[in-house]
Amino acid sequence: MLKRFFDPKLAYRIAVYLRMSSDQQNKRSPEQQLAEIKRTLKALSYNWIIVETYRDDAKTGRLLRNRKDYQRMMQGIKTGEINVDIVLVDTIERFGRVEELQAIRKELYEKHGVLVLTADTGFTDPNTPQGKAMGMVEAMRASEHGRILGHNVLRGKRDAAEQGHWPGGPPPFGLMLENIMKDVKGRQEVDHSILVHNPETNWIMKLLFDKACETGWGQTRLARFLNDHLDIPDKFKPFQAPSVGYWLDNPIYSGELLWEQNSTGIVDDARVVERNRPEDMLRVPHFCTPTVSRQQQEAIWVVRHARRNAILAARAGAKRNDGKLIDPPAPGMTLKYLLTGLVRCGHCKRAMNPCSSAAYVTKSGESKRYTAYSCPGSVSGACENCTRVPEEWLREIVIETLRERLFPGFSGSVTEPDWLAPLVADVRNEVACITANEPNLGAAWDQELKNLRDKQSGWALSLANRNLNPAIRAKIESEWGKALVRQQELEGLRAERQHAREKLDEAVDSQQVLDCLNHLAEVLALNNPTLGNLELSLHIDRIDCFRDSKIVMRTCKLGALTGAVEMFAKDNDACGAQHVAPTETNDGGPTQAKPRRRARLRVDGGADVKAAANTAADPNRFAGLGDEWFWEDVFQIPEKVWPFQNMAIDVAIQRLAGKTHEDLSKQFGATVPTIRKALAYAAEIDERFRDLPRKMPRSRWHEDNALEVAARKAEGLGTNELVAFFKKSDTTIRAALEYARKLSKRRHRSDMRPERP
């Protein structure tokens, strides 16, 4: 059994982490936490060295990925960028309220030699039996504290709702809050709030429900109806289809409060929303004055439930039923299309959705679907961009362009491209520019270390004097102890700066970049949309699509340089440059949506893959970088060429030769409507074919093949044998023989007629 010893009297290097959960809390809470940590260190007489202080303001402890300074601290510890022995927090709740708390502390200690200690426990060593017991209590307290607080809050809100008081949150559209006051010691205070009609917007909700009841339209058509309505002020537009559906389903508009429909929680650092059972929901009838009658809303619900059940039945039929009854709460997202989430509307900035048509069978027997990206705001009238971008074409052009950019001359493995050497030089120049603006700390540190060593040499000579005054000896020993602490701190800072330089050299190392590019090439060759999307997200910022069929792909040059994006985005004010994203103006166009964080992709791997998945889910992952770090490629969606357009001229020439529509259909292997489209298109593009005959006598098989049928009959074939040979009906064969006899008689009469002199 291993024996670990923790001597608190040693001069440990520490990092301090401070956090407050909400901007509604005490603004000085982090400062108070730091003061408490320092007070406890002083009370215990620990000469620990604070190397770095990290602070997150208004960040919940239930999530890890959204705490930037926490992530920076953990990344620095794991990469060796900061050299510390201990992370200090006031209480363990400041470090986090996650279920994985013990696993995080265990990993920090076992893999990086870093302890997480708390001031409220007197910095107890968590590796002792007492410390382990305390750690278990801390972990349970950190996660259970939030649950208990949530339980108490829900209990109070539930009681308020049952009394007719609004339980909290913004009021639904069309309604507003009215404060009910009470007298407290001669002073008026808000007791509670109730819902009342908002005269400015309530008529819009009545209009919506009347239209839904009258037409039976779905939420998308109703949203378009509201967006196109001239009487509704523009400040309330655009209306979104999901919001309209939520309003139609909400019984608050018929006077009943339905509350606590969903439960939320954090699983694997992701927010999960689950529907509660009906018996767990709170219903309060006659909660407020109804906007519409209950009968009208229930009539709308009947139509919506029928439509919803049909959709759910179709999805259930397509879903594989393997008998599994427990679904994972946070499985992650898998993709069918490579560019999902990267394609955005160039006008409203919404992520464009891949929409697939119903499956159809080609003439060759192949089952296919037509898939295209479209702006979700266009169907509801919130955006005018109705462009549909073919998924297959966009995928091919993006991969081809990316390979030309990153892998010129690609042939199985990546050799050093032409753009790499200039990019590495630009990165080094940028770093040199950043460091040039920093104070010359290295020289100052070296000079301070030299002065400390000179003092220690003098103190050593003084302490060697046996007759030295005890008070002076004690003073020298105290000063020497402080000097040793400062010396260790300076040496640590020098080591950190050296590590940062080594990290930079690693980031701009050509071989590292080539390894990253080779990995991207291998992933693209695997035909795995989810993994391919993850890798592309580290290189492609976005692909903007405009209503004039223009496509702009924005590719980051630093995607293959590990850590360069964070370095330059963090130091975007260096060298006087403003590395910010271009300002996006509205210019009277559609209201621009705020990009939402994407769902995390389901990928297997270690901490690096998980970190990459978190980065890929962030729509602002390249924010703070200047335009000089991006390539922009512009494409134009090609006009679709239909088969009838390709054959139009040939079909028109054959039509002039006297072919009927049926003859042309057989000759070109197309339907008669397609032949008609081809002839109309030929008349549009060529003047020669504008006066084609509109109608021609239809060909008659029994007349065209009469002589051949008669010849076979003369060979001794019977009628049934002729039917089998020509694969025609008995009636058609007899008509052909009759027509052959008429031709024979006509020819015989012509031969018997005497010639005129």
Whether the CB-CB separation of 62 and 26 falls below 8 Å is answered with: no
Helix (H) or strand (E) holding 193: strand 187-197
Cα(218)–Cα(402) distance, integer angstroms: 41
DSSP state of 257: E
Q: Given phi > 0 = left and psi -120 to 50 = alpha, else beta, which region is 576?
A: left
- The pairs formed by 160-166 with CB atoms below 8 angstroms and a separation of 24 or more are 160/192, 161/257, 161/259, 161/282, 161/284, 161/287, 162/282, 162/284, 163/192, 164/194, 164/284, 164/287, 165/192, 165/193, 165/194, 166/192, 166/193, 166/194, 166/195
Architecture of domain 13-158: 3-Layer(aba) Sandwich (3.40)
Cα(404)–Cα(401) distance, integer angstroms: 5
Dihedral angle computed from the Cα positions of residues 721, 726, 728 and 734, in that order, rounded to the nearest 10 degrees: -60
pLDDT of 196 reads 94
Q: Does domain 175-318 have CATH number 3.30.1490.20?
A: no
- 371: nearest Cα among 351, 386, 388: 388
Q: What is the mean pLDDT of each run of 10 residues along the chain (757 residues)?
A: 77 91 84 92 88 89 87 85 89 86 88 91 82 79 79 90 92 94 88 93 95 93 93 92 94 94 84 88 93 94 91 69 72 87 92 85 75 90 90 91 73 60 74 62 76 84 82 82 75 67 60 70 80 89 93 88 68 40 47 81 78 84 85 90 87 86 87 90 87 72 84 87 88 89 76 58
Whether the CB-CB separation of 634 and 551 falls below 8 Å is answered with: yes
CA distances in angstroms from 94 to 37, 109, 141, 574, listed in the order given: 12, 19, 12, 32
184 forms beta bridges with 187
pLDDT of 512 reads 66
Cα(118)–Cα(270) distance, integer angstroms: 26
- 195: nearest Cα among 226, 218, 161: 161
Residue 422, C-beta contacts closer than 8 angstroms, at least 6 positions apart: none
Whether the CB-CB separation of 373 and 403 falls below 8 Å is answered with: no
Residue 506, C-beta contacts closer than 8 angstroms, at least 6 positions apart: 512, 562
Q: Decide whether 13-158 matches 175-318 in CATH topology.
A: no
pLDDT of 583 reads 35
Whether the CB-CB separation of 396 and 628 falls below 8 Å is answered with: no
Whether the CB-CB separation of 291 and 250 falls below 8 Å is answered with: no
pLDDT of 289 reads 93
Domain ranges of the chain: 13-158, 175-318, 421-511, 643-689, 701-752
pLDDT of 7 reads 85
Whether the CB-CB separation of 571 and 649 falls below 8 Å is answered with: no
